Amino acid sequence: MNGYKQRGMYFASSWCVFDLPAKESQLAELEKEINAPDFWNDPGHAQQVSKQAAGLREQIEDWQAFEHRLKDAAELAGLGDESLRAELEAEIAALESELDKRSFTAMLSGPYDAEDALLAIHAGAGGTDSQDWAAMLLRMYLRWAEQQGYKTDIWDMTEGEEAGIKSVTVAVDGKYAFGYLRSEKGVHRLVRLSPFDSAHRRHTSFALVEVLPQVAFDNPEVPIDPADIKVDVFRSSGAGGQNVQKNATAIRITHIPTGIVVTCQNERSQTQNREFAMRILRGRLLEIKKAEKEEEIAVLRGEYTKAEWGSQIRSYVIHPYQMVKDHRTEYETGNTQAVLDGDLGNFMDAYLRRGK
């Protein structure tokens, strides 16, 4: 039982991947702020702090329960009782699997990593092939989200003339949705024999993937002056017949200072479409704010290089061979179909472990 004893000792110390004392101290500070008499004088700030405290409390309680399991396993291993071997073997296997998942989740420590995400896909150079590629990527991410137990909702989609889609925006709701999906941001490249080429020649297609946090409608970090936006209302595009919108419910918002244009036409009410369009706009403005800060730091460090459209983050090759390769981490696999069916875990893991 010496091997079990060593593994038990390892478990007893491994929960430090989550700094429990630091989290408890952080929660205590938030609760002190929440209990202040003037806490609700600023409702927007109060809601954010309350949400942050609730999330921390849930994490702490979850890790405390896991810590108890680790200590119990260590104690059982220390007994050296052979009659407990089967029970201990099963518990240790379960704990090893759980600890690996928790170690991975511990890397998701960004300010929005635990939040819901907005995923946008835009067809790039390549005409119909790229629009079809954008549709393939949409299917890939919807399948990935389903495998994770996440809820998805298409907020806006523009279909291609012949096939595929020109652009789509999807809400992905679930814990750590943004943290996982941020590894997908960038240009994705596909190499294959084109089904739209009568000569069946090899084509290269590109699509841009955006990943934004679903920023709260009243997030004070992204103030938007009503004078800086132009709002247009129009009829949502549909499949025809009974599906055509008889009322103008779709919303197009133009942010005048940046030129950003967002639309939402998911057959909801005009009020709902406006709210979701504003969330998309806030997410993009937040991304710009973050990118400008990172660019400034990179320039000061002398390491800034401008990201151009062709600088793909990942290549998917279907012909003349099968391969998917991430150019940031060098991780690759020969099972292209599995990746296109939503098997993205190893790519996300490699990206997060890279520390970016």
Question: Which of 44-58, 204-218, 234-248, 313-327 shows the lowest per-residue confidence on average (mean pLDDT)?
Answer: 234-248
Residue with tokens 């290549």: 315
The domain that contains 279 carries what CATH number?
3.30.160.20
**pLDDT given at position 152:** 96
pLDDT band at 199 (very low <50, low <70, confident <90, very high): confident
Do 244 and 329 belong together in one domain?
no
For residue 291, tell me if it sits in a domain: yes
pTM over 0.75? The answer is no
* Most confidently modeled range among 145-159, 213-227, 283-297: 145-159
CA–CA gap between residue 169 and residue 260 (Å, rounded):
15
Closest CA to 157 of 177, 147, 142, 175: 142
**pLDDT given at position 307:** 44
- Torsion angle in degrees (nearest 10) through CA of 304, 309, 312, 313: 50
CA–CA gap between residue 218 and residue 310 (Å, rounded):
36
The domain that contains 73 carries what CATH number?
1.20.58.410
Alpha-carbon distances, residue 150 vs 54, 191, 192 (angstroms) = 20, 29, 30
**pLDDT given at position 149:** 95
Do 287 and 343 belong together in one domain?
no
Which residues, 6+ apart, have CB-to-CB distance to 264 below 8 Å?
A: 155, 156, 169, 250, 251, 273, 274, 276, 277, 280
Q: Give yes or no for residue 217 having a pLDDT over 80.
A: no
Question: Which of 46-50, 51-55, 214-218, 290-294 shows the lowest per-residue confidence on average (mean pLDDT)?
Answer: 214-218
Q: Per DSSP, what are the bridge partners of residue 121?
A: 168, 209
Do 28 and 65 belong together in one domain?
yes
What phi and psi, each to the nearest 5 degrees, are found at residue 63? Answer: -70, -30
Packing angle, helices 85-105 and 43-79, rounded to 10: 150
Do 63 and 88 belong together in one domain?
yes
**pLDDT given at position 179:** 92
Chain centroid to Cα 142, Å, comes to 12
Here the tokens at position 93 are 């296997």
Do 156 and 69 belong together in one domain?
no
Q: Give yes or no for residue 12 having a pLDDT over 50.
A: no
* Most confidently modeled range among 133-147, 254-268, 275-289: 133-147
CA–CA gap between residue 185 and residue 328 (Å, rounded):
12
For residue 148, tell me if it sits in a domain: yes
What is the residue range of 175's domain?
117-214+313-353
Residue pLDDT, tens place only, 72-116: 888 888 887 888 888 888 888 888 888 877 777 777 877 788 889
Angle (CA) 45 49 50, round 5°: 115
Q: Give yes or no for residue 125 having a pLDDT over 80.
A: no
Residue pLDDT, tens place only, 232-267: 988 776 543 333 345 678 899 999 999 999 988 876
For residue 12, tell me if it sits in a domain: yes
Q: Which amino acid is present at 285?
A: L
Q: Give yes or no for residue 333 having a pLDDT over 70.
A: yes
Structural domains of the chain, count: 3
**pLDDT given at position 286:** 84
Domain termination residue (choose one: 105, 134, 158):
105
**pLDDT given at position 9:** 45
CA–CA gap between residue 211 and residue 213 (Å, rounded):
7
For residue 160, tell me if it sits in a domain: yes
Do 178 and 254 belong together in one domain?
no
The domain that contains 343 carries what CATH number?
3.30.70.1660
Domain termination residue (choose one: 66, 85, 105):
105
CA–CA gap between residue 277 and residue 11 (Å, rounded):
47
Do 208 and 129 belong together in one domain?
yes
For residue 110, tell me if it sits in a domain: no
**pLDDT given at position 240:** 38
Do 325 and 203 belong together in one domain?
yes
Which residues, 6+ apart, have CB-to-CB distance to 292 below 8 Å?
A: none
* pLDDT, average across residues 127-139: 95
